[in-house]
Every structure is written in C-alpha cells, then in structure tokens.
C-alpha cells in the first residue's frame, strides 16, 4: 500500500514558509551590505504586491510582508521601483541625501551590494551542507572499479576491475561519488574516461548508457549510467573546518552541474521539459518536509543554491543583469542612460514573465499526464 503524500495545505505551507526564508536571506544580504555602506533603505519586503502588515524602523526602513508570497525586494533611496532601476535622480538633493543615495555610491560599492544577495544564498547552502557533514560525517570510497555490470557501458568499453578512474570528460575525480556526479549529466553520450591500470595511464572513450528517474507524476528524467560498483565506503567524522570545506565543495560541484544542465538545454541536448516551475518545486518541498525536517532542510539548501545561481544570470531585473550594467558602466566610464536601463528592465521583465508562464505550463502538463 502506497504511503499517503503531503496534503495541499501542508505543501503550500512548507513551500511558502521555506521560500520566504530563502528570500529573506537573499534580501538580507543586499540590505546588510547597503547599510554597511550607509545607504538608505526605504523598504524591505518579503513578498510582492500590497502590504499585509509591517513596521517602520528607526533607520526609516519600512519592513513589510506583502500579499503575493513569491519573491521580495529591498528598495533603496533613489530607486524608481522595487527592481532597483533608477529613475531620473531628483535635482537639489542635499549632500547628506546624496551620501545616502544608492545611485551616488561608487561603482564597486553598488556592485558589492547587488552581488551580496546571491552570495548569501550560496553561503547559506554551503553552511547547511556543512552542518549535515559535521553532524553525520562523510561516507567516502576510492574511485576504483570494484565491479562491472554485464553489457553495461563500462563492460562494452573495456574497463577492468581494479582500474582507478582519475577523470571523466575532463573533470578530475577524487572519490567514487564524483564519477556519478559527472556521468549522470551525459545520458547516451560519449565521454572520455581517464584511468590508471597497473601503473599505466589510459584514456578510454565510453558511450554511456541511459536510465530514467521517475517522479510521483510519472515524468521521466534521463541520466547517464556507467555500470560500475564502488569499493566499501568508509565513514569519516569531520571537524568544523573539514565540514565547511566539504560543504563548499558540495556547493561548487552542484553549481557546476546546474550550469552544465542549463547549457545542455540551451543547446538542445537536454529537453526543456525538465525545467520545473513553482508548482513542481512546491511539490518537492512539500514531499521533503513530509519525510523529515532534515530532508526539508536539505531541500532548502538546494533551493538556496538554485536561487543564488539563477539570480546571477545576466538578465535585467535579476542581480546578474545589474552587474552587467555596472560592468558596462566601468568600461564606458559613465552610467548608461536611464532610457537604456529602462529598456533593459522591460525586456528582462518580459523574458522572466514568459519563462514563468512556460515552466508553470510545464508543471501543469506534467501533472496531468
């Protein structure tokens, strides 16, 4: 008998609560660095749209919770909108007002304020991963072929038991789990496996097999399969610094995986139907929370990593788009015109709306199948 899944209300509560935490962390990054540089912050909002409740701090910042629980923003003094795009800066500002205005700050300060949001999300993910490694330790095994499945990709390519794999498709391999992290990205593709056999270095091309992972709605997602088994794992206890190092390593590895997958979708190698929107993400968060608090926390770390990376994409209205404008300003020696920035923000907003509609339709279609 199949165990009952989380109900709709539980899923919504877990998703809204978890996502709001990630948004708060992200915006707190912007806010904290802005305040460090003595920039006036007019509004700190969790959610979008009409304010439900809030309060005004002594600093003048309006802290608020808004009606639409998707996203949030920090609005600086001088911003034309919540997206931090500047309008025409009013004339006649006092020196004190200019000193507190975001858009009068040096380019490097503005860049750090913008970069701080995604950076804090990446740091938060690393810290959660580190907490798991510190609490539960790390299971590791050497990247040595212990067994080979018959008629698998490894068998057909001529890999032998005892081979030590040192790289796959140019990615260095330090432990057995690194092999799977790379192999999964290339279902049905040929990859170069560099290994050491009896003291001799060899490079063997391997046509990977394809397996499919299925979600609760019956959607299948392909992943690469090599067909080798690992040596026995060893459990290692990690101290604080070891756990932090491993948490950072996990974040970097997952970040690389995200960029590789995104690139494959852009090139048409991987189907864009694999992209998940708010409906699919909400279901994943709800299921994780239903399993255990630890699963929920791990899922939030993954989402924090995703939020940090997505916000660094060079799309206006996202932090990465702002950083592109600042890079152009640095090259040009002066800010881009307000009209050019406004055009960029309109185009970026349109692109994000189209993307959100697309992934939501993706979600609804996948649930209906």
What pLDDT digit, counting tens, does each position of 22-41 carry?
Answer: 999 999 999 999 999 999 99
Tell how strand 171-172 and strand 164-168 pair up: antiparallel
Instruction: Report the alpha-carbon distance of residue 41 to residue 176 in Å, rounded.
Output: 48
Does residue 68 carry a pLDDT above 80? yes
Q: Residues of the chain with pLDDT > 70: what percent?
A: 92
pLDDT at 1: 42
Range with the lowest mean pLDDT among 87-91, 344-348, 360-364? 87-91
Instruction: Report the alpha-carbon distance of residue 319 to residue 324 in Å, rounded.
Output: 9
SS3 350: helix
DSSP string across 271-339: -GGG---HHHHHHHHHHHHHH-HHHHHHHHHHHHHHHHHHHTSS-TTSHHHHHHHHHHHHHHTSPPPHH
Range with the lowest mean pLDDT among 24-33, 206-215, 270-279? 270-279
Does residue 99 carry a pLDDT above 50? yes
- Which residues are part of the catalytic machinery? 27
pLDDT at 258: 87
Say which residues have a Cβ less than 8 Å from residue 200's Cβ, sequence separation at least 6.
Answer: none
pLDDT at 334: 85
> Residue 282: which pLDDT band, with cuts at 50, 70 and 90?
confident
Q: What is the CA radius of gyration of the chain?
A: 24
**Do residues 300 and 282 make contact, with C-beta atoms less than 8 angstroms apart?**
no
CA-CA distances (angstroms) from residue 97 to 33, 49, 78, 81, 92?
A: 18, 27, 9, 18, 10
Mean pLDDT over the full length of the chain:
88
pLDDT at 274: 73
Each residue's pLDDT tens digit, 127-145: 999 999 999 999 999 999 9
The pTM assigned to this predicted structure is 0.86
Does residue 82 carry a pLDDT above 80? no
CA dihedral sign of residues 158, 161, 166, 168 = positive
Spacing of C-alpha 286 from chain mean position: 19
What domains, with CATH codes, occur in the chain?
Answer: 8-136+296-368 (no CATH), 139-236 (2.30.42.10)
């Amino acid at each position: 008998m199949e165990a009952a899944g989380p109900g709709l209300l539980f899923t919504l509560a877990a998703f809204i609560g978890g996502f709001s935490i990630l948004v708060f962390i992200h915006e707190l990054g912007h806010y904290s660095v802005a305040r460090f540089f003595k920039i006036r912050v007019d509004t700190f909002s969790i959610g979008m749209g009409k304010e439900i409740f809030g309060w005004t701090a002594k600093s003048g910042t309006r802290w608020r919770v808004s009606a639409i629980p998707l996203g949030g923003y920090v609005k600086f003094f001088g911003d034309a909108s919540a997206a931090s795009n500047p309008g025409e800066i009013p004339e006649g500002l006092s020196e004190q007002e200019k000193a507190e205005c975001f858009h009068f700050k040096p380019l490097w300060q503005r860049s750090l304020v913008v970069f701080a949001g995604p950076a804090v999300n990446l740091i938060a993910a690393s810290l959660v991963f580190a907490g798991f490694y510190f609490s539960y330790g790390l299971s590791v095994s050497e990247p040595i072929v212990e067994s080979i499945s018959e008629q698998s990709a490894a068998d057909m390519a001529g890999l032998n038991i005892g081979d030590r794999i040192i790289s796959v498709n140019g990615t260095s391999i330090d432990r057995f789990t690194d092999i799977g992290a790379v192999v999964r990205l290339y279902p049905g593709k040929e990859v170069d496996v560099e290994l050491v056999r009896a003291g001799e270095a060899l490079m063997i091309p391997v046509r990977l097999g394809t397996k499919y992972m299925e979600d609760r709605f019956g959607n299948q997602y392909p992943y690469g399969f090599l067909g080798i088994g690992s040596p026995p794992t060893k459990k290692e206890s990690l101290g604080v610094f070891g756990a932090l190092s491993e948490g950072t390593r996990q974040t970097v590895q997952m970040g690389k995986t995200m960029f590789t997958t995104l690139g494959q979708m852009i090139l048409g190698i991987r189907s864009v139907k694999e992209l998940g929107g708010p409906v699919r993400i909400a279901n994943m968060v709800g299921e994780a929370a239903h399993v255990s608090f630890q699963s929920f926390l791990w899922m939030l770390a993954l989402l924090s990593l995703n939020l940090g990376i997505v916000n660094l994409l060079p799309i206006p209205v996202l932090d990465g788009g702002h950083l592109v404008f600042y890079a152009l300003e640095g090259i040009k020696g002066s800010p881009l015109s307000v009209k050019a920035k406004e055009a960029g923000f309109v185009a970026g907003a349109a692109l994000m709306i189209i993307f959100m509609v697309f992934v939501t339709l993706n979600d609804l279609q996948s649930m209906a199948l």
